[in-house]
Amino acid sequence: MPGIEDTATLVAHSYRLMTMQPLTYLGSALLRTLRDHLRPLIAYHLFFTLLASALLLPAITRVIHGLLAQLNRTVVTNDELIALLFSPLGLAGMLVGLGFAFLIIYWQQAGMLQVAVRPRDNHYRLALEALWLSTRRLPALAGLVILQVGTHLLLLAPFMIGLAWLYDFWLSGIDPYYLQRVRPPALWYFIACALPLIIAWVWAASWLYLRWLLALPFVALESSNPWQALKRSVSLTRGWRRSIGAAVLLLLVLIISLPLLVTLLFDRLFTPLLWWLPEHNAVLIPAMLAYLIGYVLVTLATTFVGIAANALLSACLYMQLAHRETRPAPPPEGINAGKLAWAVELSVLIFAGLQAWWILNSFEIRDNVAVIAHRGSSMVAPENTLAALEQSLIDGADYIEIDVRLSNDQQVMLYHDRSMARLTGDNREFGELTRDQLSQFDVGSWFGDAFQGEHIPGLDEALEKVRGKAGLMIDIKPLPGQEEALADAVIDALNAESDVRYRCWATQQSAFDGYAACGFPNALLAMRMATMSPSLLKHIKAQAPELRVTLLAQLILPGTLNRRDFDALGLRHNRITEGEIQLARLYGYEIHAWTVNDRARMSTLIDLGVDAIITDYPDRLTKLIQDRRALSDGALMLVKLRNWLRQ
């Protein structure tokens, strides 16, 4: 019996050693492989990036734009976006785009695998061979993408159906802005119910991913067909998945954390050093240029390391499990880099320098941004009320964004939701009630006792409140089929306000008194209208050409929007890019960012070049603008550099 126990112990110990080996030695094998093949990997990465940037990505972009153009519509709201995504053509477009994206990733990884397992005495010949061999395997890689990614999507489908059902059960009909700001119990119930589903999907997807981890090396290196590669991967990874999973998770954490750590290092260690420099352009600009060159180089390096490490992990696992070798063989000794190597690497330095110079020259020293209070100062007073408008004036808002609807007797009233339920507890529809009935509702008590008795104001009351002090950005919220009627009613109200202002001006002694007491005479020029309907833009402009119109958009499909139909484009702040800013400058319209409450994000958007920021805290934005105006040019340049890093 003791002999049997000793044998069992030995077997168990051997099994533990076997299962620990990939995790124990994989890190050192990966680092050595990266060191041995660093130059050809860099060369391949550069060649592939040039090829993808010059040929592949533009071609894919044209194909996707062509598909989207078939929709013959512009997506600007959440509801329209969801409708598009779940339409047959929308689903097909998403699948095509996702398939192309993964095909590029697989293609790049396949080439790096070729570099790792095919040592040569010429780095750049090896890189070009790897690019050619991986390109020849594109049909097989496409088949692998269809099998792997398609299976993961099928696995995701029931979980998405479950999440959609939970969303419909808990959150259907609740205003997304209300969910963000108030976070009612229904939101937490939804999260509590959705979390187990999400965890279950992550576990299932991870289980499948680890089983198929070696499929790409088999397709790329052994000319296996996709189905055979998947079966061989399942067979070889059996018994090793726990240790492989730990290695994959550790690498994922490193890949994600490395760029964050680099950014943090620059922001906390090197950026403060710039503040100690004298604010003379002869010193400050070269220092900032050197700083940016270093940042660009480190960013390029971290991106490359993340991509290469993922490929080399597959290469090392492939060699250990398929060929019982600890890592790919190193290249022959005594290889010199050669002139081409130095030329290519010098080009990287030149690229970093040019990009740094372009970044530095893109900074505008002074900025001009309008402050727009969202539904009034809606974090200090109840939204869309006279109290919120009054607070916005105190907080220094240039414009006050309000939501308007038509009452049953065709009066323009300030209110956001279609139903009265959220603010009053009454389940009736807003459009069913007359102005007299609406005026009886208390829409302030929900916010706080100090606002008890606050009523729903009409647009005429709002115009009187801001007269001579600020402008209004009137966001129309029509019922279906009521779009033109509501727009016309708002224009009529503005024309009536203009009459009041002209009469007011007639009684003033000077222009200064006129502006202070009456505001700009033509209310149509002093106000803005906002809509989420592109089809309504031409009607508004036909009725009131001088009225500035903002198109509010959650998302815009490329190539689907006539950018000459509006005066401003209001985008969710995380949708605003340099490309959108450039388009706005090209077509001559403004960019308005909504809804921004974080001071750091406000500062970043100002430096990105937006023309207006819509915020629940206009006092924060006003204070930020004042603080920036008090800075010297050198200090403001450093602020702009820090904001660029945040992007």
What pLDDT, in 10s, does the model give residues 464-475? 999 999 999 999
Nearest to 57 by CA among 103, 109, 89: 103
- φ and ψ at residue 409, rounded to 5 degrees: -100, 25
Q: Which of 57, 70, 226 is nearest to 138 (CA)?
A: 226
Average pLDDT score over residue span 121-140: 87
Q: Which two tokens stand for residue 415?
A: 């209110």
DSSP string, 292-344: HHHHHHHHHHHHHHHHHHHHHHHHHHHHHHHH--SSPPPPPTT---HHHHHHH
Supply the mean pLDDT for the chain. Answer: 86
* pLDDT at residue 621 greater than cutoff 90: yes
**Rg of the chain over all Cα atoms, to the nearest angstrom:** 31
Binned at pLDDT 50, 70 and 90, residue 154 comes out as very high
Q: Evaluate if residue 23 carries a pLDDT over 50.
A: no
Residues contacting 506, CB < 8 A, separation 6+: none
The backbone region for 550, taken as left when phi is positive above 0, alpha when psi lies in -120 to 50, beta otherwise, is: beta
Kindly state the average pLDDT of the residues 336-365.
74
Task: Give CA–CA dist 71/89, Å, rounded.
Answer: 8
Closest listed residue to residue 375, CA positions, set 322, 416, 318, 422: 416
Within a 13 Å sphere around the CA of 40, how many CA atoms are in the beta-carbon half? 30
Q: Phi/psi at 593 (nearest 5 deg)? A: -100, 130
pLDDT of 83 reads: 66
C-alpha dihedral (530, 535, 536, 538), degrees to nearest 10 = 110
| pLDDT of 632 higher than 80 | no
Q: What share of the chain is helix, strand, coil (3-state, %, to 5)?
A: 65, 10, 25
Tell me what pLDDT residue 435 has.
96
**Distance in angstroms (rounded) separating the CA atoms of residues 523 and 501:** 8
* Alpha carbons 342 and 331: distance in angstroms, whole number: 19
Q: What ranges do the domains of the chain cover?
A: 29-362, 370-619
pLDDT of residue 351: 81
Band of the pLDDT at 614, cuts 50, 70, 90? Answer: very high
Mean pLDDT of 233-259: 89
The partner residues of 530 in beta bridges, in order of sequence, read 475, 550
What's the confidence (pLDDT) of residue 71? 57
Given its phi and psi angles, is residue 343 left (phi above 0), alpha (psi -120 to 50 degrees) or beta? alpha
Count other Cβ atoms within 10 Å, centred on residue 427: 8
Q: What is the mean pLDDT of residues 353-377?
A: 85
> What is the rounded distance in angstroms from the CA atom of residue 65 to the CA atom of residue 59?
10
CB 234 within 8 A of CB 209: no
Per-residue pLDDT reduced to its tens digit, 386-415: 999 999 999 999 999 999 999 999 999 999
Give the total residue count for the chain. Answer: 647
Q: Give SS3 for 406.
A: strand
pLDDT confidence band for 578 (50 / 70 / 90)? confident
Q: Which two tokens stand for residue 112?
A: 């790096």
Lowest mean pLDDT among 141-145, 188-192, 459-463, 516-520: 516-520
Indicate whether 18 pLDDT > 70: no
Handedness of CA 529, 533, 537, 538 (dihedral sign): negative
Give the per-residue pLDDT at 35. 87
Higher pLDDT, 275 or 324: 324
pLDDT at 265: 82
- Whether the pLDDT of residue 27 is over 70: the answer is yes
Q: How far, in Å, CA of 214 to CA of 412, rounded?
A: 64
- Segment 341-367 shows an average pLDDT of 77
Query: Lowest-pLDDT range, 70-74, 415-419, 568-572?
Result: 70-74
Mean pLDDT, residues 439-464 taken together: 94
Return d(Cα 639, Cα 607) in angstroms, integer: 9
CA-nearest of 56, 20, 30, 150 to 95 is 150
143-152, 354-363, 526-535, range with the lowest pLDDT: 354-363
Question: Cβ atoms within 10 A of the Cβ of 301, count?
Answer: 14
**Residue 17: predicted pLDDT:** 39
pLDDT above 70: residue 4 = no
Share of the chain above pLDDT 90, in %: 49
Question: In the prediction, which pLDDT does 11 show?
Answer: 42
Q: Say whether pLDDT at 453 is over 80.
A: yes
Q: What is the rounded distance in angstroms from the CA atom of residue 230 to the CA atom of residue 222?
A: 13
Q: Which residue has the higher pLDDT, 128 or 502?
A: 502
Cβ atoms of 427 and 420 closer than 8 Å: yes
pLDDT band at 159 (very low <50, low <70, confident <90, very high): very high
Which helix (H) or strand (E) segment holds residue 403: the answer is strand 399-406
Looking at the domain that runs over 370-619, which CATH code has it been given? 3.20.20.190
Residue 401 and residue 475 in contact, taking contact as beta carbons nearer than 8 Å: yes
279 has pLDDT over 70: no
Task: State yes or no: pLDDT of 80 exceeds 80.
Answer: no
Res 24: pLDDT: 45
pLDDT for position 12: 42
Q: In this predicted structure, what is the pLDDT of residue 2?
A: 47
Q: Which of 207-216, 339-348, 446-455, 540-549 has the lowest mean pLDDT?
A: 339-348
Of 268 and 343, the structure prediction assigns the larger pLDDT to: 268
DSSP 269: I
What pLDDT is recorded for position 295?
86
pLDDT for 66 equals: 66
Q: What is the pLDDT of residue 102?
A: 92
Q: Does residue 15 surpass a pLDDT of 70?
A: no
Q: Does the pLDDT at position 68 exceed 70?
A: no
- pLDDT tier for residue 374 given thresholds of 50, 70 and 90: very high
Model pTM score:
0.76
What are the Cα distances from residue 449, in Å, to 381, 428, 443, 456?
11, 24, 11, 16
End-to-end CA distance of the chain: 68
Q: How far is CA 128 from CA 40, 46, 111, 338, 585, in A?
A: 9, 11, 9, 16, 41
Helices marked H in 434-545 — which ranges?
435-439, 459-466, 483-505, 511-518, 523-526, 537-543
